[in-house]
Amino acid sequence: MSENVFISSSGEHIPIVITTRRGAQNITLRPKTAPNHEISVTKPWISSNASVLKFIESKRRWIENIFARAPQKQTVAPGGTIEILGRVVELQHDATRRTNQFIIHDDAHATLVVGGGAEMFESRVRNFVKSEFIKTAREMIRTAPRELWPARVAAHDTTSRWGSCSTTGTMSLSWRLAFAPIDVMRYVVMHELAHRRHMDHSPAFWATVSELYGFGVERAKRWLNQHGAELHKYF
């Protein structure tokens, strides 16, 4: 638990995490809205925590606006729906089942029947989404030239990066892309595959992204910039 707390005008207690960094010249604020609300602060050695808290208070209106615009968490419960990987999925619960059952009705609709106890419902849905996300990502990868395929694909829950590709050949992706339009998820996959050829963001890199993805790269990038925060509305 953070010892410093920002109390919003609505009464929410938001932890303030202060990090002192050698070489920093200014106090830097970064309000985080997902997966939980938090204010991350980097400060120079010379700045006291008291001066940081005073600076945060001076930025109160800006901070409150960021948290006010953040998407509200939506409940995942039987009888509801979630949209994943291009389909609207109806959620049902059957405690007599030991495993889940995924029923695909058409390209746009499906039903997920979740087994097990009610207390496990949300975690089972989350694990299902992650599993389907990895399976779909691998299918997308197989549409690219084989020499670009990564050695390993991993799913993570990150707030600052949608994907990365290491020099060792591991592709890491945010499984929350499962909640994005399928073409946006495909853009991130092709973006990371292009890094298998160019470990930079040079014109040659972007040419490779366009080669792999086709028309619409800028549209997909724009969607992520405008709606990325919405991918954290569940769980």
Taking only the tens place, the pLDDT of each residue in 208-230 is 999 999 999 999 999 998 888 88
Q: Are strands 109-114 and 87-93 parallel, antiparallel or unpaired?
A: parallel
For the ranges 34-38, 88-92, 113-117, 180-184, which has the lowest average pLDDT? 34-38
By residue range, what is the domain housing residue 57? 4-69
Please report which confidence band the pLDDT of residue 69 belongs to, taking 50, 70 and 90 as the band edges.
confident
Partners of 18 in beta bridges: 41
Q: What is the pLDDT of residue 44?
A: 95
Please report which confidence band the pLDDT of residue 111 belongs to, taking 50, 70 and 90 as the band edges.
very high
What's the mean pLDDT when you consider all of the chain? 94
Does residue 53 sit within a domain? yes
Q: What is the pLDDT of residue 28?
A: 94
Please report which confidence band the pLDDT of residue 2 belongs to, taking 50, 70 and 90 as the band edges.
low
Does residue 37 sit within a domain? yes
Partners of 43 in beta bridges: 20
Does residue 74 sit within a domain? no
Taking residues 17-36, report their average pLDDT.
89
Residue 44 shares a structural domain with residue 87: no
Residue 39 shares a structural domain with residue 86: no
Q: What is the pLDDT of residue 49?
A: 94
Residue 132 shares a structural domain with residue 223: yes
Residue 123 shares a structural domain with residue 216: yes
Does residue 147 sit within a domain? yes
Residue 19 shares a structural domain with residue 99: no
| CATH number for 143 | 3.30.2010.10
Residue 125 shares a structural domain with residue 193: yes
- Residue for token pair 């800006």: 62
End-to-end CA distance of the chain: 21
Q: What is the pLDDT of residue 146?
A: 97
Does residue 75 sit within a domain? no
Residue 205 shares a structural domain with residue 131: yes
Residue 60 shares a structural domain with residue 100: no
Does residue 76 sit within a domain? no
Does residue 35 sit within a domain? yes
Does residue 12 sit within a domain? yes
**What total number of domains does the chain contain?**
2
Local structure of 153: helix, strand or coil: strand
- Could you tell me which of 48, 20, 17, 49 has the C-alpha nearest to residue 30? 17
Q: What is the pLDDT of residue 210?
A: 97
Which structure tokens are listed for 89? 């999925």
Q: What is the pLDDT of residue 34?
A: 74
